[in-house]
Amino acid sequence: MASMPQQPGKPPPPCPAWVFSINSNTHVAKDRCWFGKDYIPFRSHVTDMGGGSVEVIGMGTVNITTMSSPTQTDQDSHSSISLKNVLHTPAMLCNIIGGPITNNHTIVCGPTTSTSSGRIMDDSDGRTVAYFKSMRQGPQLYQLQVSAPPYGHHFGASPLLPNGHYMIHAFWSQRERQRFAVLKSRNLIQASGVEVLTESEGHWFGKRHMSEDAILVAYGLNKDRKEHREEGRAIMRILKSHAENEPIV
């Protein structure tokens, strides 16, 4: 079946697949629309089990609306999971819930039934806040049963095939964590203006092959919306500040 054409300037629909990976030491999300207001532009990278590198372009909190039961029928009944310090990695195959979730949740894996292959419990009160999809139809991954996409969006197709074999993993090094901590301690994570770029700023970004349109695409922003264009320029200025104040760690 042919895919629906995207509207010019509009980001693609968000990836619906959230996979639990206990061997990952961080959470990652593909799409900007998952993140809340605490989103911070930040360039870094994560590695996979094969040593391959995937670019990180930001970080923030993600709230996922989950099903209140594995056979939920009431559309008004939902649960949710909040993930902090999620890395924004557009080139990752899918979204990943990493090992840090076990800091405040208990993961119960199996047995696989027709409706679920496990659940996630909140340690603060023992409530079940999410379920994993059944693996009976494949693939053999702990995929979160997500109830709804981020507000104002519709899900795209899952990149995970029923008969596919995947190694889902993301590792964020201690060095990169220290880089972020230093930049944050220097107050270099806040926007410094949304007005049109100056000539000198345009020259600086041009030398580094960075354009406003490219930033809008990378960060899932719509060039037809004024507030998105302003956010894009704010992101560019934050990235420029990071590059000019690169910490030595």
Q: How far is CA 191 from CA 13, 88, 113, 180, 233, in A?
A: 26, 18, 48, 16, 9
Range of the domain at 217: 191-248
pLDDT tens-place string over residues 157-216: 999 999 999 999 999 999 999 999 998 888 877 766 788 999 999 999 999 999 999 999
Task: State the amino acid at position 132 in one-letter form.
Answer: F
Tell me the pLDDT of the chain averaged across its residues: 90
Q: Is residue 168 part of a domain?
A: yes
One domain, residues 46 and 137 = yes
Q: Examine the fold and report which residue of 159, 189, 219 is the final residue of a domain before the chain moves on.
A: 189
The predicted pLDDT at position 110 comes to 85
The predicted pLDDT at position 105 comes to 97
Q: Is residue 6 part of a domain?
A: no
The predicted pLDDT at position 9 comes to 55
Q: Examine the fold and report which residue of 163, 189, 215 is the final residue of a domain before the chain moves on.
A: 189
Residue 54 pLDDT greater than 90, yes or no = yes
- Angle (CA) 154 194 191, round 5°: 85
Residue 29 pLDDT greater than 60, yes or no = yes
Q: Is residue 2 part of a domain?
A: no
One domain, residues 159 and 196 = no
User: What is the full DSSP assignment across 210-247?
Assistant: --HHHHHHHTT--TTSHHHHHHHHHHHHHHHHHHHT--
Which whole number is the average pLDDT over 228-243? 91
Dihedral sign for Cα atoms in the order 213, 46, 143, 159: positive
Which whole number is the average pLDDT over 213-242? 90
Total number of domains in the chain: 2
Q: Is residue 84 part of a domain?
A: yes
Q: Is residue 1 part of a domain?
A: no
Q: Please give the residue that has the higher pLDDT: either 24 or 186.
A: 24
One domain, residues 111 and 208 = no
Least confident stretch, 42-56, 73-87, 163-177: 73-87
* pTM, entire model: 0.87
pLDDT confidence bin for 126, thresholds 50/70/90: very high
One domain, residues 45 and 147 = yes
One domain, residues 171 and 195 = no
One domain, residues 90 and 22 = yes
One domain, residues 214 and 164 = no
One domain, residues 57 and 139 = yes
The predicted pLDDT at position 94 comes to 97
Exposure b/e, 152-180, CB count within 10 A at least 16 = b: eeeebeeebeeeeeeebbbebeeebeebb
Residue 156 pLDDT greater than 70, yes or no = yes
The tokens describing 174, both together, are: 């201690």
The predicted pLDDT at position 49 comes to 82
The predicted pLDDT at position 177 comes to 96
Q: Is residue 67 part of a domain?
A: yes
One domain, residues 121 and 239 = no
Q: Is residue 8 part of a domain?
A: no
Portion of the chain with pLDDT greater than 90, in percent: 70
The predicted pLDDT at position 160 comes to 96
The predicted pLDDT at position 1 comes to 27
One domain, residues 198 and 155 = no
The predicted pLDDT at position 191 comes to 63
- DSSP helix/strand/coil, 45: strand
Residue 82 pLDDT greater than 70, yes or no = yes
Tell me the H-state helices in the chain: 174-185, 199-207, 212-218, 226-244
Nearest to residue 20, comparing CAs of 173, 165, 145?
145
Which whole number is the average pLDDT over 40-68? 93
Q: Examine the fold and report which residue of 167, 189, 211 is the final residue of a domain before the chain moves on.
A: 189
The predicted pLDDT at position 71 comes to 83
